[in-house]
């Protein structure tokens, strides 16, 4: 597709007079504050086709990362096929627009073919009337269908831009009334396509030009945005003149506000006055002040500031005004050492503290009463003298000492209990003769212990031993030693001294009868009841051990000592 031609020569013809009037004027001093408008959608016309899409990221990088939210291009106006959108680059722009929801696609749409063909006014008037009659509606319906199919139904349509000039075939001057009717038919045709959300931008050229642009305004129902193309050219000698001139920037703002419409600046840039940074600065401040819906600078020579290298000063102003605020590097604050001023040491006078003597208060001596401790008399118990018996030689015959038979009511043998104070008969160790065998010394009993009662010789010795365990004091050679059973009824016999003790006659050994009693034998006569031991007496018995072999011969022996603790004995503590 051939690149659409922009008006240069024709525009120059229409603006020569205005340029001549602007000579000799001085520009007013603008404010130098930085533009703060970062929320206004900004873009630039970089190229009509894919190169224009590809250059957007580079422009953004050049501006320090500022977002380029507006993509702006033109449909070729040489044939109706181009106006209907049968061009391949629309797909590239549609793809860019769909990539982010906050982006905006602005499309300039011609209203006549041969739009830059220098068609005379009479022919333009004929074309306007044909359009008002609806002869070209189908072309615009096809364009709307094409945009909806590409997924850009919210495209901003800048329809018949700069209609108040003399450059384009779709100009309004030859027939303003029918031109407005034609505009309405085009908008109605495009809005009839299902799915469309188009916004139509009415964008005249700044100033009166060939006709006052307000005379071409088709009405609020068919216009969504009131824009204005404003280049650095006449009429007007400076930017203030651009504001105050008839149909200038102020009129544009006031008219849009009166009709309740948003404003825009689809085209602006340098032109007649060359590299003019003051114009760029003032235009950016104006945009920031009035908050248009969007603005796009025409960035090719002689209008541009990025791709056109012949405007370096304006380029610098544009870049500094629009690049985002980037925090500068953190410069560390130099640490200035604080001089250390030595503090003079002032000696502190030592004030002696008076020593106040602490009065000594004597503590009264409280006598402690002496509590007498009751003396508990401890009974003086004599220590029993345990004699050591002389062990007889084993080859001496042991005489048999008759032991009175004491009937035991229970045949069950009872173990020896040394605790109860039961007198145990003391039997001296039999000796072969009074002259050879020494008799063990037995301490004399206390005077209060009654003399033992010697059993009467008149008591016959029973021939049959009752069915009890034999006394442990009668050893029988060759017979196992039975368990000794203490008898409480047998008193301790008085052991005579060696000079007085008669030599007992050893009876013939009697065979041990069977433990089972014979009922035919006579019952033995009971022994007389021995005298009861004195009250409060104590007896200590010490068993004697003669060894295993000799103990089998003489039996288990013990030495007992009695102590009388009765009243009057001197040992009664109570």
SS3 state at 71: strand
Inter-residue contact 305 to 315 (CB < 8 Å): yes
Q: Closest Cα partner for 437 from 489, 504, 374?
A: 504
Determine the longest span between alpha carbons in the chain, in angstroms.
194
Where do the CATH 3.20.20.80 domains begin and end in the chain?
Answer: 9-322
pLDDT in tens, the chain (574 residues): 434 444 444 444 344 344 444 433 333 444 444 444 458 999 999 999 999 999 999 999 999 999 999 999 999 999 999 999 999 999 999 999 999 999 999 999 999 999 999 999 999 999 999 999 999 999 999 999 999 999 999 999 999 999 999 999 999 999 999 999 999 999 999 999 999 999 999 999 999 999 999 999 999 999 999 999 999 998 888 999 999 999 999 999 999 999 999 999 999 999 999 999 999 999 999 999 999 999 999 999 999 999 999 999 999 999 999 988 766 566 677 777 777 776 767 767 676 676 766 766 666 665 665 655 655 555 555 555 555 545 445 454 444 544 444 444 444 444 444 444 444 444 444 444 444 444 444 444 444 444 444 444 443 444 444 444 444 444 444 444 444 444 444 444 444 443 444 444 444 444 444 444 444 454 555 555 555 555 555 666 777 776 776 777 777 677 776 666 655 555 444 4
Residue 309 CB contacts under 8 Å (≥ 6 apart), including other chains: none
pLDDT of residue 381: 54
pLDDT of residue 333: 73
Partner residues linked to 562 by β-bridges: 539
DSSP calls for 317-350: HHHHHHSPP-PPP-PPPP-PPPP-PPPP-PPPP-
pLDDT of residue 367: 61
pLDDT of residue 428: 41
* Burial zone of 283 (CB within 10 Å; 0-12 exposed, 13-18 middle, 19+ buried): buried
pLDDT of residue 365: 65
pLDDT of residue 416: 41
Convert the pLDDT of each residue in 371-420 to its tens digit: 556 555 555 555 555 555 454 454 544 445 444 444 444 444 444 444 44
Asked if the bond preceding 143 is cis, omega within 30° of 0, the reply is: no
SS3 state at 142: helix
Q: Inter-axis angle of helices 176-191 and 121-132, to 10 degrees?
A: 40
SS3 state at 151: coil
> Measured between alpha carbons, how far is residue 448 from residues 419, 508, 529 in Å?
22, 39, 20
> Measured between alpha carbons, how far is residue 7 from residues 121, 236, 542 in Å?
17, 21, 154
Partner residues linked to 540 by β-bridges: 561
pLDDT of residue 439: 44
Interior CA angle at 395 toward 391 and 396, to 5°? 70
Convert the pLDDT of each residue in 259-301 to its tens digit: 999 999 999 999 999 999 999 999 999 999 999 999 999 999 9
Partner residues linked to 74 by β-bridges: 108
Q: Which fold has domain 9-322?
A: TIM Barrel (3.20.20)
pLDDT of residue 325: 73
pTM of the model: 0.55
CA distance 289 to 33: 12
Classify residue 202 by its DSSP letter: E
CA distance 282 to 32: 9
Instruction: Supply φ then ψ for residue 262, to 5 degrees.
Output: -75, 155
CA distance 394 to 401: 17
| Total Cβ atoms within 10 A of residue 370 | 6
């Amino acid at each position: 597709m051939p690149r659409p031609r922009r008006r240069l020569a024709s525009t120059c013809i229409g603006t020569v007079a205005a340029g001549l009037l602007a000579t000799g004027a001085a520009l007013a001093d603008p404010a130098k504050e930085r533009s703060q408008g970062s929320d206004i959608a900004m873009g630039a016309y970089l190229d009509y086709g894919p190169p224009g899409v590809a250059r957007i990221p580079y422009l953004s990088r050049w501006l320090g990362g500022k977002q380029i939210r507006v993509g702006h291009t033109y449909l070729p106006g040489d044939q109706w096929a181009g106006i209907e959108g049968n061009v391949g680059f629309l797909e590239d722009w549609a793809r860019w627009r769909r990539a982010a929801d906050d982006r905006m696609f602005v499309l300039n749409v011609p209203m006549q073919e041969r739009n830059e063909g220098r068609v005379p006014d009479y022919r333009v008037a004929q074309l306007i009337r044909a359009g008002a009659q609806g002869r070209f509606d189908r072309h615009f319906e096809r364009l709307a269908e094409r945009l909806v199919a590409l997924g850009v139904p919210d495209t901003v349509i800048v329809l018949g831009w700069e209609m108040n000039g003399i450059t384009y075939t779709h100009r309004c001057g030859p027939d303003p009334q029918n031109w407005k009717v034609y505009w309405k038919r085009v908008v109605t045709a495009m809005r009839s396509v299902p799915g469309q959300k188009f916004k139509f931008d009415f964008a005249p050229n700044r100033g009166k030009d060939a006709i006052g642009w307000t005379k071409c305004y088709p009405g609020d129902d068919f216009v969504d945005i009131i824009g204005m193309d404003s280049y650095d050219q006449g009429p007007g000698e400076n930017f203030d003149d651009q504001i105050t001139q008839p149909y200038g920037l102020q009129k544009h703002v006031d008219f849009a506000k009166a009709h309740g419409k948003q404003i825009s600046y689809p085209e602006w840039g340098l032109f007649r006055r060359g590299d003019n940074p003051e114009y760029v600065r003032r235009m950016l401040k104006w945009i920031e002040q009035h908050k248009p819906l969007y603005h796009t600078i025409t960035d090719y020579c002689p209008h541009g500031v990025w791709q056109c290298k012949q405007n370096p000063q304006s380029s610098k102003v544009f870049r500094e005004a629009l690049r985002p605020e980037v925090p500068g590097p953190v410069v560390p604050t130099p640490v200035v050492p604080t001089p250390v001023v030595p503090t003079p040491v002032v000696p502190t006078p030592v004030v002696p503290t008076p020593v106040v003597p602490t009065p000594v208060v004597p503590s009264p001596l409280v006598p402690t009463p002496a509590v007498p401790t009751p003396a508990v008399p401890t009974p003086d118990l004599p220590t029993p003298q345990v004699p050591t018996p002389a062990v007889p030689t084993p080859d001496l015959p042991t005489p048999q000492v008759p032991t009175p038979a004491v009937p035991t009511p229970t045949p069950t043998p009872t173990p020896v209990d040394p605790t109860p104070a039961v007198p145990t008969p003391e039997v001296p160790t039999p000796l072969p003769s009074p002259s050879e065998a020494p008799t063990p010394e037995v301490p004399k009993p206390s005077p209060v212990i009654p003399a033992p009662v010697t059993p009467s010789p008149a008591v016959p010795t029973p021939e049959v031993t009752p069915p009890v365990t034999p006394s442990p004091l009668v050893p029988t050679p060759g017979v196992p030693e039975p368990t000794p059973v203490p008898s409480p009824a047998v008193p301790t016999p008085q052991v005579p001294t060696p000079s007085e003790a008669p030599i007992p006659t050893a009876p013939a050994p009697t065979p041990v009868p069977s433990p089972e009693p014979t009922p035919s034998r006579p019952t033995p006569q009971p022994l007389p009841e021995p005298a009861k031991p004195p009250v409060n007496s104590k007896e200590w018995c010490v068993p004697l051990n003669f060894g295993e072999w000799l103990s089998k011969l003489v039996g288990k022996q013990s030495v007992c000592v009695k102590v009388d603790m009765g009243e009057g004995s001197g040992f009664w503590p109570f």
